[in-house]
Amino acid sequence: MSIQEERQSTIEAMVDDERGVLAADESHPTIAKRFAQIGVENTEENRRAYRTMLLTTPDLGKYISGVILFEETLGQKDDTGTPLPEVAAAQGIVPGVKVDKGKGPLSGSSGDLITCGLDGLVDRLAVYKEQGARFAKWREVYPISEHNPTPLGRKANAEMLARYAAVCQEMGFVPIVEPEVLMDGDHDIERCAEVTEHVLHAVFHALHQHHVSLEHMILKPNMVVAGKDRDRATPEQVAEATIRVLRRSVPVAVPSINFLSGGQGPEEATANLNAINQMRGNSPWQLTISYGRALQQPALHAWQGKAENVAAAQQALLKRARLNSLAHQGRYDPSME
């Protein structure tokens, strides 16, 4: 199979009109915070047990087409000795991997951030491919302030996303391109819309310059929402602003837009996705999820680190996955909660 055929096969396996992506790629510090909420120690065995619980959820593949894994998880096995990427694949869920190495300040651009991890990426992708990964994810973040993101910040972050995506495609991986405009702050929804539109324009300009095949990538943006220190916008307001920005910014060649939840609660993220799909009209992309906490949080709290709670935790995960599948189709109703 050629590199292009590999990418096309992965896109076809990940993109449809019912399913979305589960983000289970929390770094060690992030999952430590999640575990601390339920009194579970952040050990490799507990991380393995938790992610095994997620990936062995019966029927999860009905609603989830891909899972983003932390690199540690690619090398872990379930309780029967089966590698976790194979556990996912057996459900029809494509395994992927987070490949960025975290963010830090962008020199010369106060308030902007930049993500690291391009060094050695080719070699790491070769290993990840042997472990079963077929797609990758890289996240750049954009804080909103009166002055941020600056033009330099937008350009530098877009360049990193494009260079990552180009490397992935050369290796036969489908890149998930994640430019996240952060919810932190008291900005209104129109300020978020303005920043998100500028960010997406910069990203697709850079992707074009680096000859990235838009047909073989997935965009993972934020929804257009007000800052978390401001009153929440209604799902209808979020939908109208988000669709307007996407229509102005995202080429029709992109097959799927998989939103991040970005600090929204589980029910809020589902309601907003549903409103977007009810208002989508003739928008050319699939509009679905790549949620982390908004999918996992109910399952995590049901699990509590105890083997006797696995079935209940899996039911909580499956419920959220099913409700987000309905929202992907514009068929969700809050009474289903």
Give the per-residue pLDDT at 121: 98
**Centroid of chain to Cα 138:** 9
DSSP H helical segments within the chain, as ranges? 3-14, 28-37, 44-55, 71-74, 84-90, 121-130, 151-170, 189-209, 235-249, 266-278, 293-303, 310-328
The percent of residues in the chain predicted with pLDDT above 90, rounded, is 99
Q: What is the pLDDT of the chain when averaged over all its residues? A: 97
State residue 171 phi and psi, 5-degree precision.
-95, 5
Residue 1 pLDDT grade (very low, low, confident, very high; cuts 50, 70, 90): confident
Identify the residue whose tokens are 């099913």.
322
Residue 136 DSSP SS3 = strand
What are the tens digits of pLDDT across the range 125-147?
999 999 999 999 999 999 999 99
How is 139-200 classified by DSSP, letter by letter? EEEE--SSS-S-HHHHHHHHHHHHHHHHHHHHTTPEEEEEEEE---SS--HHHHHHHHHHHH
Closest C-alpha to 261, from 225, 303, 237: 225
Query: What is the residue extent of each domain of the chain?
Result: 3-336
Instruction: Give dist(CA 102, CA 100) in Å, integer.
Output: 6
Instruction: Give dist(CA 224, CA 114) in Å, integer.
Output: 21
Instruction: Give dist(CA 23, CA 53) in Å, integer.
Output: 14
Residue 330 pLDDT grade (very low, low, confident, very high; cuts 50, 70, 90): very high
3-336 domain in CATH 3.20.20.70? Answer: yes
The percent of residues in the chain predicted with pLDDT above 70, rounded, is 100
What are the tens digits of pLDDT across the range 230-255?
988 999 999 999 999 999 999 999 99
Instruction: Give dist(CA 74, CA 54) in Å, integer.
Output: 14
* Residue partners of 120: CB distance under 8 A and separation at least 6: none
Question: Is the separation of the CB atoms in 56 and 86 below 8 Å?
Answer: no
| Cα-Cα end-to-end distance for the chain | 44
Instruction: Give dist(CA 272, CA 290) in Å, integer.
Output: 14
Residue 79 DSSP SS3 = coil
Report, as an integer, the average pLDDT of 35-45: 96
Torsion of CA 55, 61, 66, 69, to 10 degrees: 0
Q: Which residues pair with 265 in a beta bridge?
A: none
How is 225-260 classified by DSSP, letter by letter? ---TTSPPPPHHHHHHHHHHHHHHHS-TT--EEEE-
Report, as an integer, the average pLDDT of 42-71: 98
Active site residue 6: no
Active site residue 236: no
Closest C-alpha to 327, from 19, 11, 15: 19
Report, as an integer, the average pLDDT of 304-313: 97
What are the tens digits of pLDDT across the range 194-233?
999 999 999 999 999 999 999 999 999 999 999 999 988 9
Total length of the chain = 337
What are the tens digits of pLDDT across the range 262-283?
999 999 999 999 999 999 999 9
Instruction: Give dist(CA 92, CA 73) in Å, integer.
Output: 18
Closest C-alpha to 116, from 105, 139, 100: 100
Q: Which of 140, 180, 197, 220 is catalytic?
A: 220
The bridge status of strand 218-219 relative to strand 174-181 is parallel
Question: Is the separation of the CB atoms in 124 and 99 below 8 Å?
Answer: yes
Q: Which of 26, 140, 178, 180 is catalytic?
A: 178
